[in-house]
Each structure stands twice: as structure tokens, then as C-alpha cells.
């Protein structure tokens, strides 16, 4: 067991422990903040206090799992997304900060009036629930092929008290609506199987492969969305997609062919990488 007693001492030891095991030392602090639901200011205020033995035992167990590449979010069972906390399990992809930019783009683009929104590949429900909570007058549906992921999304919906409908479907195959869809949004599986060797070890070991990888060099789900959305999208409807940073040209070409009357734009993220497609 760790001999150190204060939060400061334990954190210093944990940082060295991770570094000695070829892991990023900053994860020690991130793990502690997540476990305690503290800000960095909270940590500073408690630095010199004694860490309870029960907390220390849990922290040590967590560190041992980190060394085995288990993501912190799965250890904690939740993560922050767009200012809210979402439950995550190994049945769901861990929501990324880049996807917050997709939500932000949609909210800035669209008027605050009743709209019919469909989120394909909803996972934790992070996109669908964030949009619904920010725009309560939008009718939002989250679709996923994974029943296990949908259970997590429903739990998040209940916890956050959001009004979102969830549907089990392979893209839009079994989706039915009495009215045209105003907006389709998706952060689909887009990683090529050829990229397996360059993926982070924690992603390869623990995140759901079905939510990560797609055939045809990562384009298969985009092709399916482009084809199936033509039957449900309103004539003035829009599509917003997250993409891999090298997929801008290939994905935009797909949607230009599917919707020749619409403008298709590649949008970069805050790091200057191609990250989103807007069809309008």
C-alpha cells in the first residue's frame, strides 16, 4: 500500500508510478479529480489534507487499471460532455471534445424553432441529449444498432431529464417518421481497419469496435447515411457529420453526389483539422 498520506503526497507518488510504467503522468491528477468530482482549485484547497484509507485503496486499484490501459472514463463510469455528465460503459464510445464542436456548430447554425432532429449512432446519447436540452422545442431521436448502447443512452436521458426518443436501427433502415427530418447528425464509425496498428492501446483494447471501425476505408456508414437519408430528409433539411481528419474530400464527394442541389462544406476543428461536414 502507498505510504504517503496527504493528497499532495499520494498524487506525487501516483505521477511517478505512472511514469515508471510508461504512462502519461498527468493522468494521475485527472483520475483523482474525476473520482472526487473536484476542480483543480478544489485539489489545491485539499492538497495538505490526509487522504482517507478507503479512497487510497480505490485510487491504487484505479492506477493499476490505468497501467493496463483501461480508460479513466470507464473506471469512473462517466465523463463530461457539453457541460453535463454522461454515463459511459464499454458498450459505448467515450464522447470526445471534438464532438462538442459538432453540437456547437448545429446550435449556432439553426434557429430556435421546432425542428425534427435525428442522431445516427447515438451511443451514450451525448449529441442527441445535448441538443434536446439546449433546444427543448426540438423533437430529437437517437438511433443506434447496439441495444446495449441504447440502454446507456436511455439511462442518461432519465438522469438528465431529457425528452429524446431512442430507436434501435442499422442507420435508417427501420426508422420511420410521420414528418420529414429537418436535421440528420452523426458521429459514425469512420476508422479504417488499416489504421488498427496506429490506434491508442486503450482504444484498441476497450472501446467498442462496432462504434469505431467501418469498411471501405472507413466510408461505409457515410455511404449508407448518404443513400438512406434521401428518403427522409426535408427538402430544406441539413446533415451534420463528424469525420476523420483525412476524410474531408472523400466524404464531401459522397454527399455532393447524393444531394447535388445542396452545398457541402468541410469545416475544421479548433486544431485546424478537417473534422465536420455540413450539407445544407
Instruction: Indicate whether 149 and 220 sit together in one domain.
Output: yes
Assign 201 a pLDDT band (cuts: 50, 70, 90): low
Instruction: Indicate whether 190 and 271 sit together in one domain.
Output: yes
Number of CB atoms found within 10 A of residue 272's CB: 8
Higher-scoring residue by pLDDT: 178, 150 = 150
Instruction: Indicate whether 42 and 95 sit together in one domain.
Output: no
In this prediction, residues 91-113 reach a mean pLDDT of: 94
* Residue 83 known to bind ligand: no
Least confident window among 23-32, 135-144, 197-206, 218-227 = 197-206
Do the beta carbons of residue 76 and residue 90 sit within 8 Å? no
Domain assignment present for 80: no
191 closest CA partner among 223, 156, 175, 215: 215
* Residue 190 known to bind ligand: yes
Q: How far apart are CA 39 and CA 45, in angstroms?
A: 10
Do the beta carbons of residue 266 and residue 276 sit within 8 Å? yes
When divided into structural domains, the chain yields a total of 2
* Residue 124 known to bind ligand: yes
Could you identify the residue written with the cell 427501420? 174
* Residue 125 known to bind ligand: yes
Q: Does pLDDT of 203 surpass 70?
A: no
Residue percentage of the chain with pLDDT more than 90: 80
Instruction: Indicate whether 22 and 134 sit together in one domain.
Output: no
- At 241 the pLDDT is 97
Q: Tell me the CATH number at 195.
A: 3.40.50.150
Domain of 169?
90-279
Assign 206 a pLDDT band (cuts: 50, 70, 90): low
- At 115 the pLDDT is 97
The tens digit of pLDDT for each residue in 24-81 reads 999 999 999 999 989 999 999 999 999 999 999 999 999 999 999 999 999 999 999 9
- At 28 the pLDDT is 95
- At 111 the pLDDT is 87
The beta-strand segments (E) located in 47-154 are 78-81, 84-87, 116-120, 139-144
Cell of 205: 483494447
Residue percentage of the chain with pLDDT more than 70: 89
* Residue 188 known to bind ligand: yes
* Residue 189 known to bind ligand: yes
- At 205 the pLDDT is 62
* Residue 174 known to bind ligand: no
* Residue 269 known to bind ligand: no
128 closest CA partner among 240, 249, 221, 270: 240
Instruction: Indicate whether 188 and 63 sit together in one domain.
Output: no
- At 213 the pLDDT is 55
* Residue 122 known to bind ligand: yes
* Residue 156 known to bind ligand: no
Do the beta carbons of residue 10 and residue 53 sit within 8 Å? no
- At 193 the pLDDT is 58
Cell of 153: 443512452
180 closest CA partner among 241, 245, 232, 113: 232
Phi, psi of 77 (to 5 degrees): 90, 10
- In three-state secondary structure terms, 147 is helix
Cα–Cα distances (Å) from 148 to 173, 181, 204, in that order, read 19, 25, 19
DSSP class of 237 = E
Instruction: Indicate whether 102 and 56 sit together in one domain.
Output: no
Do the beta carbons of residue 131 and residue 140 sit within 8 Å? yes
Instruction: Indicate whether 100 and 236 sit together in one domain.
Output: yes
- At 156 the pLDDT is 98
Amino acid at each position: 500500500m502507498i505510504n504517503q498520506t496527504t493528497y499532495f503526497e499520494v498524487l506525487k507518488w501516483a505521477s511517478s508510478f505512472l511514469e515508471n510504467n510508461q504512462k502519461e503522468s498527468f493522468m494521475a491528477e485527472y483520475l483523482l479529480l474525476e473520482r472526487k468530482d473536484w476542480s483543480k482549485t478544489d485539489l489545491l484547497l485539499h492538497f495538505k489534507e490526509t487522504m482517507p484509507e478507503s479512497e487510497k485503496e480505490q485510487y491504487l486499484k484505479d492506477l493499476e487499471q490505468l497501467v493496463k490501459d483501461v480508460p479513466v472514463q470507464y473506471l469512473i463510469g462517466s465523463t463530461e460532455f457539453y457541460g453535463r455528465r454522461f454515463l459511459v460503459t464499454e458498450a459505448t464510445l467515450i464522447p470526445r471534445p471534438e464532438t462538442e464542436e459538432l453540437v456547437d456548430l448545429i446550435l449556432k447554425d439553426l434557429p430556435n424553432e421546432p425542428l425534427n432532429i435525428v442522431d445516427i449512432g447515438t451511443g451514450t446519447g451525448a449529441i442527441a441529449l445535448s441538443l434536446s436540452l439546449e433546444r427543448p422545442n426540438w423533437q430529437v431521436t437517437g438511433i443506434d444498432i447496439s441495444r446495449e448502447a441504447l440502454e446507456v443512452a436511455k439511462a442518461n436521458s432519465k438522469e438528465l431529464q431529457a425528452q429524446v426518443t431512442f430507436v434501435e436501427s442499422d442507420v435508417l433502415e427501420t426508422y420511420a417518421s410521420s414528418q420529414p427530418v429537418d436535421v440528420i447528425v452523426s458521429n459514425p464509425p469512420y476508422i479504417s481497419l488499416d489504421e488498427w496498428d496506429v490506434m491508442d492501446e486503450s482504444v484498441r483494447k476497450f472501446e467498442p469496435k462496432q462504434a469505431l471501425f467501418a469498411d471501405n476505408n472507413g466510408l461505409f456508414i457515410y455511404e449508407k447515411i448518404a443513400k438512406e437519408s434521401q428518403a427522409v430528409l426535408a427538402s430544406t433539411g441539413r446533415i451534420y457529420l463528424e469525420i476523420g481528419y483525412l476524410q474531408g474530400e472523400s466524404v464531401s464527394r459522397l454527399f455532393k453526389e447524393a444531394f447535388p442541389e445542396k452545398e457541402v462544406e468541410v469545416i475544421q476543428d479548433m486544431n485546424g483539422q478537417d473534422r465536420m461536414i455540413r450539407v445544407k
